[in-house]
A and B are shown apart, each in its own frame.
Chain A
Amino acid sequence: MSDQALHLQSLVDLRATLATKQASALEVAQHFLHRAQADAHHAFLAFNPEATLAQAAAAQQRLDAGDTSPLLGLPIAHKDIFVTTDFPTTAGSRILEGYRSPFNATVVQRLSDAGMVGLGKLSCDEFAMGSANENIAVPSAKPQAVTNPWDLSRIPGGSSGGSAAAVAARLTPAATGTDTGGSIRQPAAFCGITGIKPTYGRTSRYGMVAFASSLDQAGPMARSAEDCALLLSALCGADLDRDSTSLDLAPENFSVSLNSHVKGLRIGIPNEFFGDGLASDVRAPIDQALQTLVGQGAVLVPIALPRTKLSIPVYYIIAPAEASSNLSRFDGVKFGHRAKDFGDLADMYEKTRSEGFGDEVKRRIMIGSYVLSHGYYDAYYLQAQKIRRMIADDFQAAFQQCDLIAGPVAPTVAWKLGDKSDDPLANYLADIFTLPASLAGLPGMSLPVGFGEGGMPVGMQLIGNYLQEAKLLNLAHQYQLLSDHHMHTPGGAA
């Protein structure tokens, strides 16, 4: 494999390339940096070649000293929602343009400690709010929506659209993403790559610009389940001194169980995920993938997730509520954008936030403030929390009958740029299959299972019970041993 061009290699391949000295860490970094800087998809927002090359040189020293760490010397790029000392952090928002964090997010730091080389920062929907990567406000001089490497007229998905597009276009072998309501899984599906959102609390939220605290979760996006397993192993683990919602668990090695057999594995098929709303060009490859797994001895079990539809209103109450509060700190007082001309303090707040936030962010701040208001709290927020618990209960009932759950990630393949940009509700409705696992805090992943309308990639979603990431990665890897959808490269990227 390692006779392939460097950018076509997976992390595992690249690591072998480094180990056998077919290329140095510096050469690998330069190769990807060169591609990324020529990025035609507007996936990258920031570079720091000096820092990148210095990290590559340091990694090479460790390699030369015989360090066999599995991620040592491999490039990674970060969603611009993670704060970084080497690069500015904008969260895709004008209000943070030019902001430089004095510390690294735990996720960034852990991958750096593992020897990975940071290539740059990746575009995302403003404050991770969106499912098309069209809610982009930076750079304010010329904000550009990210395009899908499989079809430049289509969206890459969101909010980790830059991450998905960069991996798909082979600008980086891997990227970090965050998933609040599907923001890793959906763009991974739309761009034909593999991504996993771990159990809530598995990865530290410290240094992630918060959108909805009770839902936000970081995870890896890469070519294969095997690569995701390597990355997740380095990312996970308790961070109790910095994040109180971090789970008190030792790091886990997700690579060791990739080859467990799947014979007898019970895959739950939720009725609600395969109804009229699911496009046939998406359904067909998923059905085929499931048959492949049945061929390996897996068993399909029909299950019910009766409150699937409610996950949309519940999510669009809870997430904006938390966001409205989380985004209060962007007030022009301490950091980030401040309006140039203002009268009194209230005017400063109003102008700063009016100028600094985009429409979707403002929309969610208004919804969130409304549902938390005196007199509405019980009817909206409290009620949503109750239903959220019921949704989690539905999953627990389902997991009595199955080991994991499979279904679509999104109802359709990636849509055309601009198709839904004036229709927030249509965007929200497209999140229906990813929201339930987010609300329940369960791990979910997306893996490529074929192509649909317009030759666009189709992803299949796997949902596991709490802390069952290993099972998801195992099944995904077993599938990827039998399929080559994850190996396909978009035309422009070869």
Chain B
Amino acid sequence: MSSPLVQGYEVVIGFETHAQLSTQSKIFSRASTAFGAEPNTQACAVDLALPGTLPVMNKAAVERAIQLGLALGSQIAERSIFARKNYFYPDLPKGYQISQFEIPVVQGGEVSFFMEEGKDTVHKTVRLVRAHLEEDAGKSLHEDFIGQSGIDLNRAGTPLLEIVTEPDMRSSAEAVAYAKELHKIVTWIGICDGNMQEGSFRCDANVSVRKPGTPLGTRREIKNLNSFKFMQQAIDYEVRWQIEQIEDGHAIQQATVLFNPDTGETRAMRTKEDAADYRYFPDPDLPPLVIGRDWVERVKSEMAELPRVMAERFITQYGLPEYDASQLTQSKAVAAYFEATANACGQPKLASNWIMGEVSRRLNSGDMSFEALPVSAAQLAALIGRISDNTISNSAARQVFDALWVEGADAGGNADATRVDAIIDAKGLKQMNDTGELEKIIDEVLAANPQNVQEFKAGNTKALNGLVGPIMKASKGKANPAQVNALLMKKLG
């Protein structure tokens, strides 16, 4: 698949994502990591960098790194090194950040996903360079004080996993699809709560453009993209800006830029010339992080089934196409709903079609999350059962589904599967399975539409549609379309 070009330029994007790890306590201290507490109430002596304090590794953060590595098929380094990144800033209490530099804990791996490209659904793979453990800084509060800045160190020492990709993405859409997939994985395996508003999942995009076949262009890094919408807007703006610069004969300067959602523009914060020298060196307070095979195996055995493993199982166990399997493993809730429905009705493909079709359409139009779905799996299974035993037609099933939705959304709603038959009866949606009655309707419609009959006989198969419509209408939608077709062919053949 060739890359989509923008004004003849190829877009090259790499990502750095900071995922806050969902540990109870901080990466090198015992202070709580809970969000939203009063400033500086969740910062202990270690977080404040009081003299004499030392970091002690939180094993829970390491386990989360191992989990990510296992989920993405990466190497888990048996020995990785913590380094100090030295710089002065008021919200960095020690004057250095403990991070990993030369030898990170997670090395290599990949993220693969499906995305729409034109009319096609294509499979993409983005390679990872590494993921390393580090501590977050505190926050500077510039707005709340006049002529001064406040410092809140609650966030200082919160464990982060910085996940770095190769420059493998070729469009803003692909970048967003990658970010969504990564977001799905970290929340699925439970290492990160994924809350982008609270900064639990922050993305930096390295963006450059080039003429196809030429070396990589100079990149600019868009920092702190905290929503998928802004991500796409920011990259699109940045790409247009860079192309404009080049077309105007200007060279791109390596820089760090910020996206302003109000103006929709990116603006340079600092250029390479004033980049700090971080004086990285191995942190002498922390021995090398040693992860034995037994530790990795234990973490593996305790991990939930990974989305890609589950997708493979859906293909073999339920005979689903790869695309369906991938869509149904977008979240644990969707996957569980699918399995419950498929197992209850014994029609996995129909269950998949309904979930990817009607269910997701209704959720999207209501901007609802899957967790809020008002129709139970048992109800959907019963509904699918009534379609496949020809009790109701697909269009009637949609009416039943709507009714179930309204009932379920109502606080007094009943999730019971028996509601399906009750609604079918109440609405009189049962299909007409009496051939005699249906044949009578067909004969009347054929008599009333001689022109269609002639055209069909002359070889225009489309003329059949002009007959099916009136038949369905006359049956008040209760006729089984397959049965109608069969009878029509018999009578016209």
Contacts and interface: CB of A to CB of B under 8 A. Distances in A.
A244 interface: yes
B54 A209 contact: no
A334 interface: yes
Given A206-B52, A329-B93, A245 B281 contact: no
A373 B279 contact: yes
A208 interface: yes
Given A328-B86, A328-B94, A372-B86, A244 B54 contact: yes
A322 B49 CA distance: 16
Contacts of B280: 372, 377
Contact of A335 (B50, B95, B281, B287): B50
B45 A334 contact: no
B93 A244 contact: no
Contact of A245 (B51, B88, B279, B287): B287
Interface string A47-84: 00000000000000000000000000000000000110
A243 interface: yes
| Highest count of chain A CB atoms <10 Å: which of B49, B51, B57, B86 | B51
Contacts of B86: 324-325, 328, 372
Contacts of B279: 324-325, 369, 372-374, 377
Interface stretch (A101-109, A128-136, A138-146): A101-109
Contacts of B55: 244
Contact of B51 (A89, A322, A328, A349): A89
Contacts of A89: 51
Contacts of A333: 90, 93, 151
B52 A83 contact: yes
Contacts of A102: 45, 50
B277 interface: yes
Contact of A329 (B49, B285, B286): B49
A345 B90 contact: yes
Contacts of B84: 325
A127 B139 CA distance: 29
Contacts of A381: 281
Nearest to B95: A328
A102 B90 CA distance: 21
Interface string B299-314: 0000000000000000
B45 A103 contact: yes
A240 B57 CA distance: 10
A241 B279 CA distance: 28
B370 interface: no
B95 A210 contact: no
Contacts of B88: 328, 331, 349
B24 to A, nearest CB: 16
B122 interface: no
Contact of A240 (B56, B93, B285): B56
B373 interface: no
Interface in B23-63: 45, 48-57
Contact of B95 (A206, A242, A331): A331
Contacts of A225: none
A432 interface: no
Given A349-B88, A377-B281, A329 B51 contact: yes
B105 to A, nearest CB: 16
Contacts of B285: 210, 213, 244-245
B48 A334 contact: yes
Interface residues of B, number: 28
B277 A374 contact: yes
Contacts of B151: 333-334
Given A103-B45, A325-B84, A372-B281, A210 B52 contact: yes
A383 to B, nearest CB: 13
A198 interface: no
Contacts of B93: 329, 333-334
| Highest count of chain A CB atoms <10 Å: which of B54, B96, B151, B280 | B54
B277 A373 contact: yes
B284 interface: yes
A320 B386 CA distance: 79
A205 interface: yes
Contact of B281 (A83, A208, A321): A321
Contacts of B287: 244-245
A333 B51 CA distance: 13
Contacts of B54: 205-206, 210, 242-245
Nearest to A328: B95
Contacts of A241: 56
A99 B277 CA distance: 31
**Majority DSSP secondary structure for residues of A touching B:** loop
B286 A244 contact: yes
A83 B51 CA distance: 7
A369 B280 CA distance: 10
Contact of A244 (B48, B52, B57): B57
Interface in B85-118: 86, 88, 90, 93-96
Nearest to A345: B90
Interface string B144-182: 000000010000000000000000000000000000000
Contacts of B284: 212-214, 245, 322
A483 B284 CA distance: 41
A245 B57 CA distance: 11
B443 to A, nearest CB: 89
B51 to A, nearest CB: 5
Nearest to A84: B52
B11 to A, nearest CB: 30
Contacts of A327: 95
Contacts of B50: 83, 101-103, 335
| Highest count of chain A CB atoms <10 Å: which of B48, B52, B277 | B52
A116 to B, nearest CB: 19
A96 interface: yes
| Highest count of chain A CB atoms <10 Å: which of B56, B57, B94 | B56
A237 interface: no
A199 to B, nearest CB: 15
Interface string A332-353: 0111000000000100010000
A28 interface: no
B51 A101 contact: yes
A212 B90 CA distance: 23
A377 B278 CA distance: 11
A85 B287 CA distance: 29
A207 interface: yes
Nearest to B49: A329
A91 interface: yes
Interface in A353-391: 369, 372-374, 377, 381
A210 B50 CA distance: 11
A206 B285 CA distance: 10
B26 to A, nearest CB: 14
Contacts of B286: 244-245
Nearest to A372: B279
Nearest to A368: B279
B370 to A, nearest CB: 42
A209 B52 contact: yes
A327 B86 CA distance: 11
A192 B84 CA distance: 40
A96 B56 contact: no
Interface string A91-130: 1000010010111010000000000000000000000000
Contact of A334 (B49, B277, B281): B49
Interface string A193-224: 00000000000011111101110000000000
Nearest to B56: A244
Interface of A: 82-83, 89, 91, 96, 99, 101-103, 105, 205-210, 212-214, 240-245, 321-322, 324-325, 327-329, 331, 333-335, 345, 349, 369, 372-374, 377, 381
27 contacts: A89-B51, A91-B51, A101-B50, A101-B52, A206-B54, A210-B51, A210-B54, A210-B285, A244-B55, A244-B56, A244-B285, A245-B54, A245-B285, A321-B281, A325-B86, A325-B96, A325-B281, A327-B95, A328-B96, A329-B94, A331-B88, A335-B48, A335-B51, A372-B279, A372-B280, A374-B277, A377-B279
